[in-house]
Structure 1
Amino acid sequence: MFGRRRRGCAQRLWHCAFEMQSLLNQLRMELSGVMKSSVKDSQPWLANIAYRFNGWTFIPATAVLLSPQEKRIELEPRLAKLLQLFCEQPQSVFNKETLLQEVWAPRVVSEESITVAVSQLRKYLGQTSSEMFIKTIPGSGYCWLPVTERAELNRSSHSRTRWWWGTGIAVVAIVALLTVRLSDTTTDIEPPSALIADAQALLHDSPDDAMRLFRQVLAQGPDASAYLGLVQAKLFKIPVAQLKEHGQELASLLDRARDLDSELPHLHWISAQVYFYGFWDFTRAHEELTQAYTRETHTPEFLLSYAEMMLAMGETDRVAESIHELRRSYPEFYAIPAVAWLHLMMGDLDSARGEINRILESDAPTYGLHVSGQLIGLAADDDEMAWSHLYALMKLADLPDKSVYRYEMIFQDEGLAAVHGILKEELPSSRLGHYGPPLSLARHAIIAGDANSAMTYLDQALAEQQVEALWFAADPLYEKVADHQGYRGLMERFKALVRAP
């Protein structure tokens, strides 16, 4: 009996210490806010600065956007950073390289992230004309049009007094908490929902910090949202190509979350990603995606992810349904290269070409656009189109001018197949729209007409389970070697690898 009492007392002390640490963390955040306000001369973006334009007010420190009707919009960190950059330099043209460096670095993301972010800002601002807020400068980037005024918000002169009052109240609360916890033997410990909310807010920009907070929650006991949050954080942190190395760990965390709450939001969507990329298990991924489609909010990110995975599984009707919903519900997200790629993979060349032309009419060319454009040219046997986009990719990959000129001369003298024959031998970059080796070697060999080499490299890609090979059965490029005697064997092997239903 005495031993049980000691253990119970020790547990209560541990819980008190944990909750006291949480309060101390809040105090540190409050103190950090005060210290930040004291450095406004050297770091004005941390103080009470606001930007005003066309009746709108943007407050960078809190990432809040106020409409002319005083409607409050809380922006995601990346959107707030992008809008701040625009407001600081109105009427300036920002190319996409600058935006990636200033807003997304050090994370490596595709240029589609810029397209999506700009579309979101335009939607929040109610932009209905290209001359209102953010203007696309074809071939260059984006320009912030409104005349923008920088101003200081009104502040209370008693901010430090309020902080000391807050600190005193928090200290009293800690003492009271210790007193109550030590005297009450029946109080239940509730899951720290505030920690979970803070962790979820950090997922995109700081997955390591998010994981730390989720683990703090789990230190108190099992929690479905925390288990699932750990998986989400790891999906943000771990490159897709490396997910197979972490598949068992992620699946175990998902099982724990599912055992505690099988109706948890996002559980099926996240599970589908883990089983698709981490296990190459099409059967389980298909089951999870089917559940997710009926339960998830159909955001643009979900619809694109759903379409990409269903495409690999040959569910073209579902892909078409997803694209249709994306166009109907989110027209500002529709004109992106990923949708052109989806049309191409389904064999709809006319829609794929139309999507590329629509983007070129209204937006600056991106890496993703040139990748999709090159593949469309190859599928249509349009060597000029394929070469023009390959040439642009060579420039974006910073290949030496002499090398690019040599490839151009080879194209003019011997044709596109000869260029890819040389690329297969030299492999100057993995950013030419054909992934990395060995799959890139296989694709260059296919275009060069070297089917035997293509079979060898495709066999290696499947043996290594190179992530881009997940679309082996869907990509029309591989149909060019469908008559080769080794192709059927490769396809059967692929179906076995992905546990195709």
Structure 2
Amino acid sequence: MQDFRLGEWQVSPTQNSLTREGKTKQLEHTPMQLLLFLTQHPGDTLSKDLLLEHIWAGKVVTEEVLTVAISHVRKALGDSARTPRYIKTVPGKGYCLICTPEALKDATFVSAKPLWHVLAPIVLILALFWWFWPTSLSQTAAKQTPASAGQELYNQGRFLLFSQQENHLQRANALFEQALQQDPQLASALWGKAMVLIIQAEELPRQQGAPLRDQAIALLEQAELFSPDHAPVQLQLGWHYFTHQWNFQLARQKFERAIELAPHEPIHNFLYAQYLIAMGDNEAALKATRRYIDLAPQYYSVPVVAWIYNTARRPQDALVELEKIAALTTPDLNFHHSAIKTLENLGHDQRAFNHLLQSMQLAGFSDTQLTSVQQQFRQGELAAVYLWLIEQGIGDNLGHYSAPLGYARYAIKANDTEQAIHWLQKAVAQRQLEVLWLAVDPYYDPLRLHPQFHQILQQLKLDKIK
């Protein structure tokens, strides 16, 4: 795609950079693709669902990934959510590019296509790691794939799987098929076909996508038979058994096998840590997270360690971790979300509310909404604020996940047990990813003696976790 001008900036998509007055700023890959998609529709309000579908196609993610990416784009452009010159937030609807892109002299502006190339071979769990994973996993696949007659065909298919190409999924799948004709036992090509099916399944309603996902798992299990030492296959199986089948014992085996095969891949340790947190093994989760940070020190500022301390009922230690991060970098949306949870666990509701306000400001809420929230806090503190968010139908992730799970947590704070159970049941029915940590998160302690909460844990197969 050719460079173009956006306001006072020259945008270079191939370099992931913005240049103004001789000074260049780098923009991460995914925020750049989000900016490019917005430039395809200047003046149009694009819904959050549409943006998630195009930028994070085939992935189970919350709206937090979009909010974070928008924040990164605005920061790079020097834009403000409150007084926007480039990207306007339309509350309850989405985002609108209010600055028209212009072609440079002797250059042609080309509209962005659907952005498949951000896809990674796993379903993502925390949005803040999005920009790192695709590179890591594509490299892992390359290292773990044995040479074979179909290897070059597989490499071409994998390139399309990760690249911005029209009809790339179909083309990638055809190349994987050709690779298997050359070598029917090529595990990497089976993995590739499985990933195509998983991506397609995630675009459909859960029931409609289930047959595709079943086919994908069958291909991965076949690949495992042919090549039990293929780390990406082990990792994808582990994630599937954890998040879809809720077969936690088998998930552990696959995660540990992936780490054994590729111990220096940061993503292996990170995903294993998330699994360990859900299983209540906080010490092992902390060790895995430390390994992850050692292997990928650029992500030290991500508040994963604070999350582990929170689930371990050590909120003061979590606060210490957050203070370390705040001393090193400007707090972002994820930091504020973690601070809200930590400070509430410590009983510091005023400070938690301050971070909630900053979270809403970064998310682009209007001055009117911010004023209403402040009024609610003066009248009834956080309980009133959270009930107001439910009444207003604001389901964005403002620190307690998106709805319906966010509504359940709001109701807990408001001491409305029945409403909390109601929203929890909806979250489980929708298989909202974050329900997998219900058994260990102390925020749900007020519900622990409720029989329906125990039934929910049984449904999730988490009732034995302490």
Do they superpose with TM above 0.5?
A: yes
**C-alpha distance in structure 2 between counterparts of 1:457 and 1:288, whole Å:** 32
Asked if 1:215 corresponds to 2:177, the answer is: yes
How far off is 1:100 after superposition? 6.2
What residue number does 2:428 align with? Answer: 462
Q: CA 1:284 to 1:103, structure 2 compared with 1: closer, same or farther past 3 Å?
A: farther
How far off is 1:84 after superposition? 4.8
Asked if 1:101 corresponds to 2:34, the answer is: yes
How far off is 1:279 after superposition? 1.6
Asked whether the equivalents of residues 376 and 384 of structure 2 are also in contact (C-alpha less than 8 Å), the reply is yes
Asked if 1:231 corresponds to 2:194, the answer is: yes
The equivalences for 1:68-147 within 5 A come to 84-85=16-17, 91=23, 99=32, 101-102=34-35, 106-108=54-56, 109=65
How far off is 1:443 after superposition? 1.1
**C-alpha distance in structure 2 between counterparts of 1:103 and 1:300, whole Å:** 29
Asked whether the equivalents of residues 281 and 500 of structure 1 are also in contact (C-alpha less than 8 Å), the reply is no
Q: CA 1:409 to 1:444, structure 2 compared with 1: closer, same or farther past 3 Å?
A: same
What residue number does 1:362 align with? Answer: 328
Asked if 1:320 corresponds to 2:286, the answer is: yes
Q: Deviations over 1:304-343 (max 9, x none)?
A: 2111122112222221111222343433222213343233
What residue number does 1:399 align with? Answer: 365
What residue number does 2:410 align with? Answer: 444
Q: Deviations over 1:247-278 (max 9, x none)?
A: 31221111221222222232211110121122
**C-alpha distance in structure 1 between counterparts of 2:14 and 2:344, whole Å:** 36
**C-alpha distance in structure 1 between counterparts of 2:34 and 2:362, whole Å:** 15
Computed over aligned residues only, the root mean square deviation of the Cα atoms, in angstroms, reads 4.0
Q: Deviations over 1:384-406 (max 9, x none)?
A: 22212221222233333212211
The equivalences for 1:287-326 within 5 A come to 287-326=253-292
**C-alpha distance in structure 1 between counterparts of 2:21 and 2:206, whole Å:** 39
Counterpart code for 1:437 = A
Q: Deviations over 1:284-313 (max 9, x none)?
A: 111211222222233222222111122112
**C-alpha distance in structure 1 between counterparts of 2:437 and 2:398, whole Å:** 18
Q: CA 1:267 to 1:457, structure 2 compared with 1: closer, same or farther past 3 Å?
A: same
Q: CA 1:299 to 1:403, structure 2 compared with 1: closer, same or farther past 3 Å?
A: same
Q: Which stretches of structure 1, 4 residues or longer, exceed 6 Å deviation after superposition?
A: 94-98, 111-116
Q: CA 1:271 to 1:431, structure 2 compared with 1: closer, same or farther past 3 Å?
A: same
Counterpart code for 2:23 = Q
Asked whether the equivalents of residues 417 and 448 of structure 1 are also in contact (C-alpha less than 8 Å), the reply is yes
Asked whether the equivalents of residues 247 and 278 of structure 1 are also in contact (C-alpha less than 8 Å), the reply is no
What residue number does 2:114 align with? Answer: none
Counterpart code for 1:455 = I
What residue number does 2:352 align with? Answer: 386
Secondary structure of the residue aligned to 2:231 is: coil
Asked if 1:252 corresponds to 2:196, the answer is: no
The answer for unaligned runs of 5 or more in structure 2 is 5-11, 39-53, 57-64, 82-147
**C-alpha distance in structure 2 between counterparts of 1:113 and 1:297, whole Å:** 30
What TM-score results when the alignment is normalised by the length of structure 1?
A: 0.62
Q: CA 1:111 to 1:82, structure 2 compared with 1: closer, same or farther past 3 Å?
A: farther
Secondary structure of the residue aligned to 2:395 is: coil
How far off is 1:463 after superposition? 3.5
Asked if 1:271 corresponds to 2:271, the answer is: no
Asked whether the equivalents of residues 177 and 189 of structure 2 are also in contact (C-alpha less than 8 Å), the reply is yes
Asked whether the equivalents of residues 339 and 355 of structure 1 are also in contact (C-alpha less than 8 Å), the reply is yes
Q: CA 1:99 to 1:214, structure 2 compared with 1: closer, same or farther past 3 Å?
A: same
Q: CA 1:403 to 1:382, structure 2 compared with 1: closer, same or farther past 3 Å?
A: same
How far off is 1:472 after superposition? 1.1
How far off is 1:464 after superposition? 3.6
Asked if 1:429 corresponds to 2:361, the answer is: no
What residue number does 1:153 align with? Answer: none
What residue number does 2:158 align with? Answer: 200
The answer for unaligned runs of 5 or more in structure 1 is 1-35, 37-42, 46-79, 117-134, 141-189
Counterpart code for 2:55 = R
Secondary structure of the residue aligned to 1:332 is: helix
Percent identity over the alignment is 24
**C-alpha distance in structure 1 between counterparts of 2:355 and 2:439, whole Å:** 24
Counterpart code for 1:216 = Q
Q: How many residues align?
A: 361
Asked if 1:191 corresponds to 2:149, the answer is: yes
**C-alpha distance in structure 2 between counterparts of 1:219 and 1:89, whole Å:** 54
The equivalences for 1:153-172 within 5 A come to none
Counterpart code for 1:226 = A
